Structure 1
Amino acid sequence: MSAQGRVNGALGARLGDGLAAAAVSFGTGLVLVAALAVLPAGGRRALRRVLPALREGKFPRWYLLAGASGAFLVMSQGVTVALTGIALFTVAVVAGQSASGLLVDRLGLGPGGRKYLTLLRVLSALLTLAAVAWAVSPKLSVAGTPAGWLLPLALPLAAGFLQSFQQALNGMQARHYGSPMPATLINFIVGFVLLCLAWLVKLAVAGGAGPLPPEWWYYLGGPLGCFFILVAAAVVGSLGVLLTGLGMIAGQLLGALLLDVFFPLPGSVITTATVLSTLLALAAMVLATLPWPRAAFPAVLRRSR
């Protein structure tokens, strides 16, 4: 996700159009995932399970719209990263995802069913958020006045909040299809259509984007998105939404650290806070997996199960 945010943010800045960058990202991802879903025999068998699952009411049909959340995240990358930087963008996404991960698990929307809000799970979410804030704290001091970046951060905050719902809905579909591939393909179809419609409206109102860049790496956002959605749909059933989200957040921090080491942007600095906060996020993820005695749950949570 760190690499995808870097690529899509750079493409949005290069085109001068975050919506166009998001549409390009989803378009390249759609081509790749369509080939992966249609060419192998196993992929075609999984796709044939979609209509029977819908006819039998295995899950509500609006679950198919989970791709709208991914489209919103990619759009926020293209629009926001160039304004706030990847650090503030990550803080906003993590804040939204940490909160909604607890909520979605408690509501039982994912394939793993309803999960208790144990003290360790809540504490791990708070520690993860603290780790990300610590990691970017050196950059926050030079981010300008709050008024300059607070409003743009509303987009990634909302996108992060919706990510847990997307993972839960995709995981539920993957369980009934027997494969995460159909849900991934449907995600990209829905997201691409919505982004194209939004871009056409923007085109009519404010004009088009700049020419597409020739550098190949600008088009890696789509394939990275394929990998992200496939992995999330495959593991959310066994891990739950919160643990899946925490694992991905830890991966974001590790990815951001590696990007700053091997592909630094101008002004990128690796501090002690960056390294220690990454270790804290990994420790928080492990904390969330520890058992919590059922008898120790607050009575209100036992009654609400």
Structure 2
Amino acid sequence: MASTTKIPLPLGIALGLVAGIAIPGQSRINGQLALEMGDGLGAALLSFSVGLVLMAVLSLALRRGRSGLAQLRHAVRERRFPLWYMAAGCVGAYFVLGQGFAAPFTGLALFTVANVTGLTVSGLLVDRLGIGPGGRKDITGIRIIGSVLTVGAVVWTVSPRMGGEAGDGPQGLLLLLLPLTAGFLMSFQQAMNGTATVHYGTPLTATLVNFLAGWIVLLAAWLALVAPAGWPRALPDAWWYYLGGPLGCIFIGLGAVVVRHLGVLLAGLSMVSGQLLGSLALDLVFPAPGSVVTGVTVLGTALTLLAVSVAALPAAARMPWERR
């Protein structure tokens, strides 16, 4: 079983930030890989394949990984948690598919806002239901304010990238349901991963199972939708095209750790802040065509950090109308 040692709140938030920072890098790399291959779904499948192989090697090479695989067998046999928790990786596959189908039409900015909104709302719900390993957490005024501040900060941060044509019309609104529902499901994914990690004794095994489940979904989709048209072009030679999978391993592994100590909502908000920090760093150091960095972008990113700080206030810090 995993250690019951509680990590300090600042360290947990810092780990959540690092987990979130990995996502923009993964998105940038996978996007370029899709262009090189001429196949977005195939690029996602390749990224998951690299992550799956990496986690399999680590799980077999490291003693903690081998112990986790043994605990996996015991957990499944003894039904220590609902077995459908092992399908949490399907949410990641759904998110990747949503990126491919919806983002080109809605625009990345609206896609991000919808995703963060779904994640934030479900974070409150999952914590209230006590699904995650951190147990039940009440929906307090402080947590609601932190959540609203986070969504507002994301909207403000990405506003320079919002074009009038993005998401216009019924089709655009319908497509926004993809990132919205993906974000909503991601809180459940984090809760399931956190619970599984407790029983496996290591996030290595939870990450491996996640990649396996997502890989199976993406492989089935690729075989059904893309493979009949023929194999993709030759794979690119540059090594950095294959870092998307390892970055995904960092996100899932650290997320499985911090959700146990922070709760689903606060873990999700800290990762959202990390995502914006990573995007800002990429746009400053390795700007992509059409990238925009303004004072609003910087201030909005800083506001997300403030929102996380508000949501992290202890349960005793209640609003006046909540005090008895």
Is the pair's TM-score, using the shorter chain for normalization, greater than 0.5?
Answer: yes
CA distance in 2: counterparts of 1:196 and 1:297, whole angstroms: 53
1:93 equivalent in structure 2: 115
1:303 equivalent in structure 2: none
1:53 equivalent in structure 2: 75
Which of 94, 97, 104 is the aligned partner of 1:72? 94
Percent of residue pairs bearing the same amino acid type = 52
1:102 equivalent in structure 2: 124
Q: Which amino acid aligns with 1:172?
A: T
Matched, 1:278 2:301: yes
RMSD: 2.2
Q: Compared with structure 1, are the counterparts of its residues 209 and 55 closer, same or farther at alpha carbon in structure 2 (3 Å cutoff)?
A: same
Q: Compared with structure 1, are the counterparts of its residues 95 and 44 closer, same or farther at alpha carbon in structure 2 (3 Å cutoff)?
A: same
2:63 equivalent in structure 1: 41
**8 A Cα contact 2:142 2:317, kept in partner:** no
Q: Which has the higher contact order (CA 8 A, sep 6+)?
A: 2
Partner of 1:111, secondary structure, is coil
Q: Compared with structure 1, are the counterparts of its residues 10 and 76 closer, same or farther at alpha carbon in structure 2 (3 Å cutoff)?
A: farther
Question: Which deviates further from its counterpart, 69-78 or 262-271?
Answer: 69-78
**8 A Cα contact 1:18 1:79, kept in partner:** no
2:34 equivalent in structure 1: 12
CA distance in 2: counterparts of 1:141 and 1:3, whole angstroms: 23
Question: Which deviates further from its counterpart, 5-14 or 26-35?
Answer: 5-14
Which of 260, 279, 300 is the aligned partner of 2:283? 260
Structure 1: unaligned runs, 5 residues or longer = 300-305
Cα deviation, residue 294, structure 1: 8.7
Which of 206, 211, 219 is the aligned partner of 1:183? 206
Question: Which deviates further from its counterpart, 83-92 or 45-54?
Answer: 83-92
**8 A Cα contact 1:93 1:157, kept in partner:** yes
Structure 2: unaligned runs, 5 residues or longer = 1-22
Cα deviation, residue 207, structure 1: 5.2
Cα deviation, 1:193-250, whole Å, max 9, x if unaligned, reads: 1110111010366555444333322222111100000001111111000000000000
2:16 equivalent in structure 1: none
1:251 equivalent in structure 2: 274
Q: Compared with structure 1, are the counterparts of its residues 295 and 22 closer, same or farther at alpha carbon in structure 2 (3 Å cutoff)?
A: closer
Aligned length in residues = 299
2:25 equivalent in structure 1: 3
Q: Compared with structure 1, are the counterparts of its residues 107 and 206 closer, same or farther at alpha carbon in structure 2 (3 Å cutoff)?
A: farther
1:302 equivalent in structure 2: none
**8 A Cα contact 1:12 1:78, kept in partner:** no
Q: Compared with structure 1, are the counterparts of its residues 270 and 151 closer, same or farther at alpha carbon in structure 2 (3 Å cutoff)?
A: same
**8 A Cα contact 2:24 2:279, kept in partner:** yes
Alignment of 1:1-305 (within 5 A): 1-141=23-163, 143-144=165-166, 146-147=168-169, 149-203=172-226, 208-293=231-316
Q: Which amino acid aligns with 2:178?
A: L
Cα deviation, residue 29, structure 1: 0.5
Cα deviation, 1:85-114, whole Å, max 9, x if unaligned, reads: 433332222111111111111111100111
